[in-house]
Every structure is written in C-alpha cells, then in structure tokens.
Structure 1
Amino acid sequence: MLTATIWLSFAFGAGLLMRLIGLPPLVGYLAAGFLLSANGHETNELIEAVAHAGVLLLLFSVGLKLRLKSLIRSEVLAGSLLHMGLTVILLWAILSQFGNLSFEAAVMIAIALSFSSTVVAAKVLENKKELRAFHGRVAIGILIMQDLVAVAILSLAGGVTPSPWAFLLLGFFLLRPLLHWLLDICGHGELVILYGLLLALVVGGGSFEEFGLSSELGALLLGIILADHKRATELSNALWGLKEILLVGFFLQIGLSGHPTLLTLEHALLLNLLLPLKALLFFFILLMFRLRSRSAFLTGLSLASFSEFGLIVASVAEGQGWISTDWLVLLALTVAVSFAITAPLNRYSHELYQLVGKGLKRFESRHRHPDDEPINVGSAHILVVGMGRVGTGVYDTLSASHLRIVGLDSDPAKVENHRRLGRRVLYADAEDPGLWAGLSLKGVRIIMLCMPELSAKLMAIQQLRERGFDGQINATALFSEEVEQLKNKGADLVYNYYDGIGSSFADKTLQTLPKELSPAVFRR
C-alpha cells in the first residue's frame, strides 16, 4: 500500500508539473518513473499488470475507430516495410562503427529503434480527434504493420513460435454477430465497461497469448470487429477514463526499467538526433504514394518517436545475451526522451506545418492519392456533416424542399451506402482541422453539424468562424449542458437530440432560412 501511495504521488506531482509548463502529463509520468528508480524502487508484477492492461485498452479503443479496409493500402503495407528496411540498414551502418558491438547486437538495436511508438502516436491522435482523419488512419495502419513485424521478430529471437492452432483465432470474425448482439443487450451502464474489459483483456489479449501471439494484436482485432457497430463510439467513451488511468502505469513502468546516469542521458540525446531523419524518411516515402505534403508531414511527425515495442525486442535480445543490460537501459531512456520531444511537437503539428508547408508542397506528386483529394461540394447551399440517423433525417427532409444539399461523413463504408441510396455524400472528416481550411464554401449558406462528438463540433465551429464563414452554423447537442457551449463558440441554432428527431431539426432550420434560399424562390 505504501509503495502504491508513493508511486501515485510521484506520478501526480510530475504530471501536474509538466502540464503547468505546457508539456503532456505523460512526460511527467516517465520522469516520475526515473526518479523512483533513482531512489531504489523497481517495477513489480502489479505495475506490469496495470501497464499491460492500459496498453490493451488503448489498442482496443484504437480498433473501435478503424476500418479493416483502410489498412490494406499500398502506402501502409509497402510504406511501413520500406521505412523499416531502410531504417535498419542505416542504423546498422552507424552502430557497426562501435567496436564493442557484435553483428547480432547492432542488428537488434537497429531493429528496436526502427519501430514507432503505438502508445504515443495513438494517444496523440486520439487526443486531437484525428484517428479517423486520413493521416491518422495511415499512421495507425503503419503501426499495426510494425507490430506484426515485431511479433515475427520476437518469435524468431525468443525461440517462441505461434501455436499451430493459431489460425483458429480467425474465427473471431465469424463470431462478429454474437459480439455485436452482446453489446446491444448490455444497456448503457457499468456492463458496457465490463464488456469492453472482457473483450480487450480476456477474449482478445488472453486468447492470443494462449496461442503464442501478441496480446496487443488480439485487443486491436477485437476492437476492429466492433468498429462498425452503432455503439462503438459509446463503448470507446465509456472506457476512456479507465484507460487513461491504467496508461499511467505503463509510463511509470518504462521509467522504472533502469537507473540512467549522466553518460547514459548524453548517449540517449545523441540517439534522438536521429528523430528528424526518421520523420523525413516517412515524409518522402509517403510522398512516393501520392499523399499530399500535409498528410505526409502529419503522419511522419506522429511516427517520429521511438517505440516501447522496441524495448520488448531489446529485452529479448538482452535475455539471449546479444546486448548488455547497459544498452537496455540506454534504449529505455532513449525511448523516454523521444516521447518528451515528439509529444509536444505533435501537439502543435498543424501550426508547424503552416510554418513549413509552402516549402514542402514543391515535393508533392502531380497525381493525388484518391483519399487525399481536395473536397469539392459544388454548388451546394447546405452541408450536413455527419450522416448518421439524425444527419440522414436532416438530409432527406431538406432534399424534399428542393435545396442543393451535400452530406459529409468520415466513415467510407457509410458514404458508399448513402451513395447507393442516391444521396450526394462525400468522404470528409470534420475532426480533421485541415478540412475547413482547404474547403471551398462559396455559395454555402448553412452548415449543419450532426456528428455525435462535442469536441468535433466545437472545433468545426471555431475553424469556420476563424476563416470568416458568415453563414449559419447549426448543431445538435446530446446533453443540455452542451447547448450553451456550442452557442458560446458561435453556433446559431443548437438542437437537443431528445427534443425530436432529425426532421424536426430540419424544420427549425427551414424556419430560419435566408431569403435567397427560401423554398418559394426555387418553385418559381
């Protein structure tokens, strides 16, 4: 009990200090771990279990926001393997210059440093609501590919091979209707949280471990299976607080992995000089696959840090006697320093791109990636953002009034379905801060925000008002306390979900139409 009290106190104090000086609290948790290590504290089974559970919940939450089709792309498959291959060759060439390193040691250290942090990248993208943005999906896809490579390396280096029955785990896809049905009948209370824990820690993580595979991949897979469920966002939100608390254990665990010296810190800082090269390599590789410079820049920056998964690979190498314990501690500190460097940079990634974007655009291909093309809403007068149940009701009601309407949604599968039904719906992520900056709104007089996420609506309103949009911005609210927040941000009309359905929202909008968009004008 005393040990837990000390750990929590150090974590809270260091995290609060980092927040006050403008750095992410996770940097403070890492610092707390190193301070505890310097005072003789070591990790134990409890902190390891908490850390592992936090990582599994994070990856499960990431899976809830992914679509499997978005991972099977050339920029993800070929891009990740090309980057890893070039990085390993470059780092091996540098490390082999150290006379005290064997060939095996140099290769394993190079491999460990070639990975990008799944935890940091996913957490940063999630906090910025960019997991479903194009660059977010590319980044997560590359991380998944890296995790698959890591599993293969761990199996070969550690002498552990997956069970011959591991292919049975593909049966989870056959159980998808059952898993969806169970979520349907869980209600909206604590059972939802328990169900998420069961899937992430036991069904996904535990079963994969039993068959000799990565529990992290198992948790991610279960999240992906539930990603198209209508309550996937609700499940993710229900697990959010618990996941954040458990991840504190993960960052503490990294800090407790060893007691670094000043010389170790000096070497770690030198290794972190490779971070710009790592990000630049991602940037130019992704440009080869016709991404915009903005998408390639944001993706490369989110993947610039070194990885906690690399520490696992290094730990196996240390167990095999290929690298020394000193190198393991050095790699742990290198990873921690990379977190401290890249986390704040990612926090201001869009502002950084505004500074360097003009110079980077000259490297763009003339041919754009299909998912990275600029959005053209044509001659639309009204945009309906978020084509779920409410958004669809709004769209259909307004369409009957002979107004030119375009729907926007961040779910490619949902967009395709609406198009099959004859609605004009385009793929666009309202949570992408770059959407409104690059979207031509000429002729658009009303924007209706029907997304469920409050933060996405607030950000969209702010972006639109900052760029000078003087038309109407109408939004839905899930709870009564959200109404005032949306109005204070600049919304003209806020409609509570529980006041009616989408058609009622549309009727209220019709009552406030500008004269030039009056249905009577279009009947003449």
Structure 2
Amino acid sequence: MQPMPLLIDMVTALAIAFVGGVVVRRLGLPTMVGYLLAGVTIGPFTPGFVGDAETIRQLAELGIVFLMFGVGLHFSFQDLWRVRDIAIVGALGQMATTAALGFQLGQAWGWSPAAAIVLGLAVSVASTVVLLRGLMDNGLLNTPHGQVAVGWLVMEDLATVLVLLVLPTLVQKEAGLDWRELGLTVLAASGFLVFMMAIGARFIPWLLMRVAHTRSRELFILATLTVALGTALGASELFGVSLALGAFAAGAVVNGSPLSHRVAADLLPFREAFSVLFFVSVGMLLDPHYLWEHIPAVAAVTGLIVFGKSVITALWAFLFPHPVRTALVVAAGTSQIGEFSFILGQAGVNLGLLGQEQYALILAGSLLSIVVNPFLFSLVGPGEWLLKQFPPIWRLLNREKQPARSPGQGLAEHLVIIGCGRVGGHLVELAEHFRLPCLVVEADVARARVLAGRGIPTLLGDASNSEILRHAGLERARLLVVTLPEEAASELIVAGARDLAARLPIIVRAATRDGVQRLARLGAQYVIHPELEGGLQLVRHALLELGFSLEEVRRYAEVVRRTCYTAMTHAGEESRLMSESFDAVDRVRMRWISLPPDSPWVGQTAAATAAHHDGAFLAALLRQGELLQEPGPATVFQAGDRLGFIGEPEVLAALKQRIQPVRDQPP
C-alpha cells in the first residue's frame, strides 16, 4: 500500500487535538488550549511522532480562510453601531496604547522596529472565540455589558483586517518605508472592496439563491465552499491582497444574504475542522525548551496581555458614561490574545519581520492568557465591591441610569425553555398567556433579540457547549423543557441539568427511539418522541376511517407507545401505571358544548345542573373570549357560553343531547 503522508499527518493532528480538547474542557478551559498543546506534542521540539510542518501549514491556510470567512459572516455593523459611543474610540484607543507598550517592550529587548511593531499589534488584539465563550459561560452575552464587549471586539476585528492589509509594507528596505508600495497596496485593496460591493454583493447572493432553488444540499455546500475559497484565492491572485482579507470580504457579502444562516450552518464543520488544524500548526512552532530558558520574557509578555491590557481597557472604558461593571467585563474579556494574534504573527514570520523565537513568545503569551482568562471573569464582582469601598471614586466611575440585571437573576418557580424554535415558541406563548415566569436559553442571536424585545428573560448561548445553564437558576426552577431537535445536544443538557438540580422535572424532545432510552437514563422524567406521536395520530384517524373500533385503535397505540417508551419504566408496576395512563388519555378527553338560547341549561347555575353530568367533569367555561377554569357552583350559565367537559366519549355524547335541543344540532 502506498504511503499517504498527508492523510497520516491530518488524522494524527486531529486525533491528538481531540484528546487535548477533551482534557482541557474537563479542566474548564477553552478547547483552543488543548489544540495548541496538541501542536506542541507533534512538533519538532518534543520527542515522539513529528508531523510534517509544511503539510499541516498548508492545511492551516484553509483554517485561516474559514476563520476569516466566519468573522465576515458574523460581522455586524449593527452590533458596533449600537455601542459606538464606547466601542469605536475605546477599542482603537486600547489597541494603540497596548501596541505602544508592546513596541517599547520589543525595543527594550533589542528587537528591530518592525518586529517590535508586530509584537505590539499582536498583543493588542483579543480572541473573539475566547471572549464569546467567556461571556456565554458567565451568562453575560446578551446583557448590556456583553453587548459592549462584542462591539469592542467587532471594532478590533475590523482594525486587524486593515493591519493585515498594510503589514507587508513594513518590510525593511534600504531607503526605509516604501510609500509607493503602501499606496499601491491600499489602492489594490480599495479596488477589491469596490469590486466586492459593486459586483460581489449582487452576484454571490443571487448565485446562492439560485442554487438553493435546486433543493440540493450538496450543490449548496459546494457553492458556499467555492465562494469562500474562490474569493480568497481570487483576491490574492488578481488584486494582490491577502487570503484573509479576501475571505473576510466574502463572508461580509454573504452576511447580507437571506441565506446567511444556512451558509453558516453548512460551513461550520469545515471551519471547525480546519481551524483546529490551524491551531495545531501554531502549537508546532512553540519550543518548550526556549520558553523555559526565557521565563522572564514570557512572564513580561503574559503580564502585558493579562494585567497591562486589562488595566488599559478598563481605563479607556471608564471615560464613557457606562456602568463600572461594563468596563470590568470588557477588561476581563479582552485580557487575552488568540487567532488574530496568530495570524498577525505568522504574517510577520512569512514576511521576515519576525523570527521563530520571537513568534514563540507571542504563542506562549497567548496560551497562558487563555488559560488565565476564565478566572478573570470571577474577579468582576470583587472588583466592583472594592471600588464601592471608595465612594468618591465609585460615583465618578459608575455612570449608569439603571442597574442592569442578569436575565435569570431573581427568578424562582419559573419554567426554563432550551431552544425557541417552533416547539419552544409555542411554549413561550403559553407561558405568556398563563402569566407563568419563564426563562429561555437560545443560541440564535436574532431569536434572542426578538424574545428580549418582548420582555422575556433570555440567555444567549449554546446550552450544550458552555456553562450557561449555571445562570438559568435551575435549582430554583419549576420545570425544564428541552426542545432542541439534536439528540446529542439534548443529552449533554439533560446530564448537565441533572448535576445542577437533582430533583428538577425535565421534559425533553427525542428524535429516535434509542434517544428516548438514552435521555431517560440520563435523568429526564418525560421524553417525547414527536414523530412517533404525530405518526400515531395519523394512524389513529386512518384506522377509524377504515372502520376499526376506537378500542382496537387505542390498544394498538398503547402497544406502540409502551414499546417506544419502555426505557422510562423500570418495574412492572410502573409499566402497568403507564399503560393505564395512556388508556385514560385515549378514553377521557375534553369536549366543548355550546349553549344555544333555547337550551334548558340557560339561566341555570352550575350547582343545579351538576346532577345531570352523568360522571363528566365541568372543567372550563368560555364566555365572550374569557376563559374561566372550573366554574363555581354559583355560576349562572348564559346563552352563547361554551362549556368544557372532560369524560368518556359516550358520556359526552349523551350530555350534549341533553344540553342542546335536537333541532339545533347540525345535520
């Protein structure tokens, strides 16, 4: 068999990255740390298997393209404009200040001016991935503080894209900076952006819509891959700009298409896989021995990123009329560096502006800052408390009109709904109708904004892939309903919820019969299989139309349900009770009976007619659009009332004949 070095390197890198990601997630750290350590493991500076750095680097180029395409796809001028008073000036001021300190640090070590500039720029840019994970884990993503932090990072991302554009002009030449080359670079980039706005913004959405009408998911995925990779390559070959800028522009153009959500969903597996290879390739450049020998330099870079940048960010944020907590949250979220810093560093290495050993310091600072970052969020509360001990300073810095509260704060005996699609949306409407307190956990930004606009407490984030459930108040909740269609995500949520609230009733949706059993074993009290229940209703109506008796149909449904939901019962008695409950559901049902003007019940009280119910139960009364549950004995019936009775079909049919004169019944 022929050797396949590309496949070997790719599989090995992904396998070790998987192990590293699992380990660091168990420790409560971002998976990016595990991917970087995986790269160190297969790198040339550690014993054992050594991957082909050039092969993995070429695969990592695809990771950069997909990362930048994703940044453009989720780039939102609306997010930035919403918090423009603090995010634009604050982010640019923080970047400039941090870059200046990084430049001074590089100069103190004797680095060239160009290398010192790259170091300063790299440490000034935070990781969007790490920030979003930190905000989600702490329930801050859709709070005013989290919105400012997201807008701040949007501005940093935009500024970094421009930095990547002009970085090649820093290459040292005998005559100094080549202003002609800088002008040509800016002109080429401007031409590319004009081309994308004038032609790409029309052609790409049109193409995606035409492909979508073919109703072929394979063709749609091929089209989106072609758009992402083709635009990046075309920008590089035809306009001479970087792959990163081309991919970012392609994503920003697709963002304006009505199919942007579908593009994001279809490209997610490619982006995640090749992004992992990108982080692995970065880790392969990290020499542990060099870092051990240069601990003071590593400590200085890490200190600038974690402590220096957090202080600088907070000081810039304090200049604007926002709460103290906003400044502290933004400071905690941006005190790390990640993917954009790697891209800047690699561009510096490829251009000869930065040496491998210098780049290793940036990698070490990134790795350590990402590890420390989750703990900085825990210092936000103590930081507020400390500033409150100095009232003059607190009054000067804290300029909020009304304290912002976390969506789940103060809720008790509430309904927690995971996912607000079609099923979750119905539950939210019911909660609003019956005035039940509820909290929604939703991963879709657009849905979360609509819910928040309706005044419904909403946590924005992925409940299956973060610590957001800790902020839903499950220990105080009355019920948890998981409506997600993905069983794997539901299983993670049920397991996590059971750890947080051992006695909380959980209702969850299952997509398969095997999923019913797995979810029940994880601790869900009630598992619903929508396809099974919908299929049984279709079968029920079909069999009744074919002449089968109601009893035969009921028995068939009972057997099917008992077979499917067998994992939810663990003893013979429970199985019997479950069978009886299904029997009761099929036999006992509610029926609405209206009172015509000549009904003998008009003018009578509920107590006077109770003797004629024949075992049926009067559950509700609907009068002029108002619903009255369980009418009292003194309730007087009026013409036009609709009475809701619960009972067996035969009893309800006889009761209707007694209430409504025969001549008024429909033929």
| Alignment partner of 1:91 out of 102, 107, 113 | 102
2:423 and 2:438 map into 1 onto residues whose CA distance is: 15
- 1:157 & 1:338 partners in 2: Cα distance? 23
1:169: Cα distance to partner? 1.5
Q: Give 1:92 shift.
A: 2.4
CA drift of 1:382 comes to: 3.6
Partner of 1:428: 459
Alignment correspondent of 1:4 = 6
d(CA) in 2 for partners of 1:79 and 1:43?
Answer: 39
Separation of aligned partners in 2, 1:26 and 1:375: 35
The equivalent of 2:212 in structure 1 is: 184
Check if 1:474 corresponds to 2:507. Answer: yes
Match of 2:60 in 1: 51
Q: Tell me if the contact between 2:140 and 2:406 (Cα under 8 Å) persists in the aligned partners.
A: no
Do the aligned residues in 1 keep the contact of 2:485 with 2:511 (CA within 8 Å)?
yes
Secondary structure of the structure 2 residue equivalent to 1:448: strand
How far apart, CA to CA, are the structure 1 residues paired with 2:161 and 2:115?
Answer: 21
Within 5 Å, give how 1:367-406 maps onto structure 2: 373-375=405-407, 381-396=414-429, 402-404=434-436, 406=438
Amino acid at match of 1:184: A
Matched, 1:114 2:124: yes
- 2:228 aligned with 1:200: yes
Q: Alpha-carbon deviation of 1:426?
A: 4.1
Gaps of at least 5 residues in structure 2 are 25-32, 172-180, 389-396, 538-581, 586-619, 621-626, 633-667
Residue by residue, what CA displacement relative to the aligned partner does 1:301-328 show, whole Å, maximum 9, x if unpaired? 553788212224523662xxxx5xxx51
- The one-character-per-residue Cα deviations of 1:436-486 (angstroms, maximum 9, x if unpaired) are 544567985334333456566556545654454855333334555544444
Helix, strand or coil: the match of 1:494?
Answer: strand
The Cα shift of 1:329 comes to: 0.8
Q: How does 1:97-246 map to 2 (within 5 A)?
A: 97-98=108-109, 100-116=110-126, 121=130, 135=146, 137=150, 140-141=153-154, 143-154=156-167, 156-157=169-170, 159=181, 160-163=185-188, 164-165=190-191, 166-171=193-198, 172-174=200-202, 177-178=205-206, 181-182=209-210, 184-185=212-213, 187=215, 189-203=217-231, 206-207=234-235, 210-223=238-251, 235-246=263-274
Paired amino acid for 1:24: G
Q: TM-score, normalised by structure 2?
A: 0.59
Residue identity over aligned pairs, in percent, reads 16
Residues 241 and 64 of structure 1: is their aligned pair in 2 closer, same or farther, counting only changes over 3 Å? same
Query: Residues 333, 353 of structure 1: CA spacing in aligned structure 2 closer, same or farther, 3 A cutoff?
Result: same
Q: Is the 8 A contact 2:107 2:113 kept in 1?
A: yes
Aligned residue type for 1:314: G
Q: C-alpha separation between the residues in 2 aligned to 1:69 and 1:374?
A: 22
Secondary structure at 1:54 match in 2: helix
Amino acid across the alignment from 2:382 = G
**What is the match of residue 28 of structure 2?**
none
CA distance in 2, matches of 1:71, 1:89: 24
After superposition, where does 1:413-424 map in structure 2 within 5 Å?
Answer: 413-415=446-448, 417=450, 424=455
Quote how far apart the aligned CAs of 1:55 are. Answer: 2.0
User: 8 Å contact 2:509–2:527 — kept in the other structure?
Assistant: yes
CA distance in 2, matches of 1:411, 1:330: 42
- Segments of 5+ residues of structure 1 without an aligned counterpart are 512-517
Question: Which residue of the partner structure matches residue 315 of structure 1?
Answer: 349
Instruction: Give the drift of 1:197.
Output: 1.4
Could you tell me which of 346, 359, 366 is aligned with 1:332? 359
1:71 aligns with 2:80: yes
Query: For residue 11 of structure 1, what is the amino acid of its counterpart?
Result: A
User: Which one of 348, 360, 363 corresponds to residue 383 of structure 2?
Assistant: 360
Give 1:203 shift: 3.4
Deviations 1:133-156 (A, max 9, x none): 665845752551342242343264
The answer on whether the counterparts of 1:311 and 1:331 sit within 8 Å (CA) in structure 2 is no
CA contact under 8 A between 2:329 and 2:377: conserved in structure 1?
no
User: Matched residues in 2 for 1:463 and 1:37: separation?
Assistant: 38
CA distance in 2, matches of 1:217, 1:522: 66
Given residue 161 of structure 1, which amino acid in structure 2 is its aligned partner?
V
Deviations 1:472-514 (A, max 9, x none): 333334555544444444433333454578xx9xxx9xx9xxx
Equivalent residues in 2 for 1:338-349, closer than 5 Å: 338-345=365-372, 349=374
Alpha-carbon shift at residue 123 of structure 1 (Å): 10
Stretch deviating more after TM superposition (126-135 or 278-287): 126-135
> TM (normalized to structure 1)?
0.72
SS at match of 1:360: helix
Change in 2 beyond 3 A, CA 1:489/1:205: farther
Asked if 1 retains the 8 angstrom alpha-carbon contact of 2:35 and 2:280, the reply is: no
Q: CA deviation at 1:272?
A: 4.7
Q: Say which structure, 1 or 2, has more relative contact order (CA 8 Å, 6+ apart).
A: 1
Instruction: Work out which of the two has the higher radius of gyration on C-alpha atoms and give 1 or 2.
Output: 2
Does the 8 A contact of 2:35 with 2:279 survive in 1? Answer: no
Alpha-carbon contact 1:450-1:475 (below 8 Å) kept: yes
Is the CA contact 2:418–2:424 (under 8 Å) kept in the aligned structure 1? Answer: yes
Please provide the CA RMSD for this pair.
Answer: 4.9
SS in 1 for 2:38: helix
Offset of 1:332 from its aligned partner?
2.6
Shift of 1:29: 1.9
Equivalent position of 2:69 in the other structure: 60
